[in-house]
Amino acid sequence: MSVTSVPASDAPLSDVMRFATFTYFGYDRHGGVEGLGALANAAIEQWRQSRTLPGSVRRLRASLFFESRRWHHYGYPPDDEAEVYMRALVERLRVLSGGAVKSDCDSLVWRVRRRLQRSRQ
């Protein structure tokens, strides 16, 4: 597993979303869409009520991954409120992680290749 830098909170939003999506595969780590969604929705509700964020790298990454996927599925860029939230997540992640995290890229590439091979059979 490789290590990757957490983008700065003022990085282009496309960089933040690319980091969120391509360095962490939240579906496998949090019980599929339902488990991940419950975790991420609780985190955004906490943010909306108290402007506080999860206190673990794992939950921050899951929440950031889910928000990136949520807006991807909407088909348009995050609105202003969502962008502020996503930038807060990435900044808190930088602080808690020391600026670098383990990347799921290697295992994600493996999973994609395996699925492609299965679909060709």
pLDDT, averaged in runs of 10, over the chain (121 residues): 89 94 84 89 97 95 95 93 97 96 72 68 63
Q: What pLDDT is recorded for position 30? A: 78
Taking residue 61's Cβ as centre, other Cβ atoms within 10 Å add up to 27
pLDDT at position 107: 61
Amino acid at 45: E
DSSP 8-state secondary structure symbol assigned to residue 7: P
**Structure confidence at residue 104 (pLDDT):** 77
Neighbours of 36 (CB within 10 A): 21
The ranges assigned to domains in the chain are 3-120
